[in-house]
Amino acid sequence: MQLDFAFLCDYADAGNKINALGIGFDTIFAKEAPAVHPLFFVVVQLRASAAETGNQPFTLHLIDADGLNVMDPIQASLNIAPPPAGVRENIARLAIRLNNINFPKFSDYAVRVLIQGREVASLPIRVAKTPPPQ
């Protein structure tokens, strides 16, 4: 399985195409910590060969700088359809909604996406103090 791309965004829907808003942020600003971020999405697009079709278990971890889980991991199954006739691979898309995530302190974090226990994407997130007005 090959990663095409992965990103964080404000909103996403994954069907035959990915529709996303607020793509590619990596910093959440907050006045104080702990900070709760109300909503963001993790988007992943993968290419899978015919041998990789079917239900593939995936896990999403949100970890802190020490590698500890900030929330309970999300575990689910990604159903990858066989490629169309005459095509060697198929595309699988994920848009995972994360609501009201509590970041305990100003620090670096990461979202890790694993398929069959193998990391396919790691996306950094920094939670920083809101800068003073200029």
Domains and CATH numbers, the chain: 2-129 (2.60.40.1930)
The contacts of residue 83 (CB under 8 Å, 6+ apart) are: 49, 50, 53, 89, 90
Reported as a single tens digit per residue, the pLDDT across 89-124 is 999 999 999 999 999 999 999 999 999 999 999 999
Contact present, 23 and 5 (Cβ < 8 Å): no
Reported as a single tens digit per residue, the pLDDT across 22-77 is 998 999 999 999 999 999 999 999 999 888 889 999 999 999 999 999 999 999 99
